[in-house]
Structure 1
């Protein structure tokens, strides 16, 4: 996993998620992350079991593996969409292949989105936020309110839209890359800052993070990263630790906005 799942905020109230995967190890990894986020997971080993469970029990989201024996994820999704009360149920495909062809096939089958395996916890968490706004977004909203005094984390899309010249596929690629790379990079920063005799590595990582954040027009995060980049060699460790924690909170609050825009582009 690219980043520890416990770095991401739990859902309040709890979510009910159906995890469909024939690989026991994959089930273990996904469920471990979901538990950290206050998500109750129910397991299905194949598409046939998934259809049986989802038509008789209530779920907030289905995480659907694509390649499975007996019934694959595409067919299971088609059958679920055949039930009127499940037509709006969020179904997120998990697949080792995220080619444009596979994504198109998933949309035709009725999946809302697809995520690559092995999954990135931040991207999965943000996707759950997007598709469960009634259940899970309240926790994110509280996080945003708590950060009001530290500057907004809402992105300004003008910078990226101008850079991409309106190319939504390119913007989606930038967002996806950011969501995949930034959480582990931040975790590297946290780890490096704990090493007292190496102030240069945190400064370098703060600079790199600043270079990634700049595309999304969030000056509050940029300013904190700039301050950290300048201060790691001169400021007390406790002060820097507080600044690093604040940056982490702001990044966590930023991710759902990016995932929502990514979902919007993928749904159009």
Structure 2
């Protein structure tokens, strides 16, 4: 962990940014970061809603998730670029699958660039500066928050979430609470999907669950979910069930860490 973290000063005047993402945790985290920078976010949950909103409202930029229901980010971007008054609108893709192929597809669809999820605040801020033409604010520096007490072998990394929260422990508690409420149900859906011969459905569920996990930086769980996202090979015939079972054990080991931090916050 670095000895210090960058705190970026707000935009003046404020920016209006459309955020298209179907993951509630992503919405919370992105909105928190944007509001810290004096950015006014408008949230939509899929590409179709993004096209409707951008077509009828004025925005300085769009943050476009790639994988969304009803209409993905690629198609939404293509439709926006067909509208003459939106051909110069900055569209920044956010994707958990940051491969060269994904980046090429995003650029071909008309996005200005893509950033990996979970996003690094400084990179997202710099992207907004670059594509909206706003002057870069002067950064301030604050001490980094130390890691909490270690529990077990599966434990969360707090650095990214603490950087996004900018010292607001109540926001971290909100993220943890949302995660603990939603993730057990998502895992049960993953268990149900693994018995389905439709591997694309399994990949979609794994991607959605990974979108929850990334904020807590648990590489072991993320790697198992990434394996479920990949196209299967003959050797994977029985491997998916094993991976799903492993993910269940790892989540069970992760939950107490999150509950402890939540309890510590509530005691204050």
* Large movers: runs of 4+ above 4 Å: 2-6
Which segments of 5 or more consecutive residues in structure 2 lack a partner in the other structure?
147-268
Aligned to 2:65: 65
Contact 2:92/2:112, CA 8 A, preserved across alignment: yes
> 2:93·2:114 contact (CA, 8 Å) conserved in 1?
yes
After TM superposition, the structure 1 = structure 2 runs for residues 84-95 of structure 1, keeping only pairs within 5 Å, are 84-95=84-95
Q: 1: CA distance between counterparts of 2:20 and 2:142?
A: 29
RMSD value, Cα: 2.6
DSSP 3-state at the match of 2:35: helix
* 1:17 partnered with 2:25: no
Shift of 1:113: 0.2
Greater helix share, 1 or 2? 1
Q: Give the Cα–Cα distance (whole angstroms) in 2 for the partners of residues 45 and 119 of structure 1.
A: 18
Shift in Å, 1:191: 5.5
Q: SS at the partner of 1:93?
A: strand
User: 1:99 & 1:57 partners in 2: Cα distance?
Assistant: 32
For residues 3 and 44 of structure 2, the distance between their equivalents in structure 1, rounded to whole angstroms, comes to 26
* Offset, 1:57: 0.2
Does the CA contact (< 8 Å) of 1:3 and 1:121 recur in 2?
no
Which residue of structure 2 lines up, in the alignment, with residue 42 of structure 1? 42
| 1:35-74 Cα distance to aligned partner (Å, 9 max, x none) | 0000000001000000000000000000000000000000
Distance 1:11 1:95 in 2: 24
Relative to structure 1, the CA distance from residue 96 to residue 90 in structure 2 (aligned partners, 3 Å threshold; closer, same or farther) is same
CA deviations on 1:132-182 (whole Å, 9 max, x unpaired) are 11xx31x53xx39xxxxxxxxxxxxxxxxxxxxxxxxxxxxxxxxxxxxxx
State the SS of the aligned residue for 1:114. strand
The 3 A distance-change label for structure 1 pair 131 and 37 is: same
TM-score, normalised to structure 2's length?
0.50
Deviation at 1:103, TM superposition (A): 0.4
Give the paired residue count. 145
Which string of whole-angstrom CA distances, capped at 9 and with x for unpartnered residues, describes residues 189-232 of structure 1?
x568xxxxxxxxxxxxxxxxxxxxxxxxxxxxxxxxxxxxxxxx
Q: Which residue of 2 aligns with 1:80?
A: 80
The answer on whether the counterparts of 2:60 and 2:132 sit within 8 Å (CA) in structure 1 is: yes
Shift in CA distance, 3/121, structure 1 to aligned 2, threshold 3 Å: farther
Q: How far is the alpha carbon of 1:6 from its aligned partner?
A: 8.0
Unaligned runs of 5+ in 1: 145-182, 193-268
1:125 Cα deviation from its structure 2 partner:
0.4
Measure the CA separation in 2 of the matches of 1:99 and 1:17: 25
Q: Secondary structure at the match of 1:55?
A: helix
CA deviations 1:68-104 (Å, max 9, x no partner) are 0000000000000000000000000000111111100
How has the CA–CA distance of structure 1 residues 47 and 191 changed in structure 2, closer, same or farther, with 3 Å as cutoff?
closer
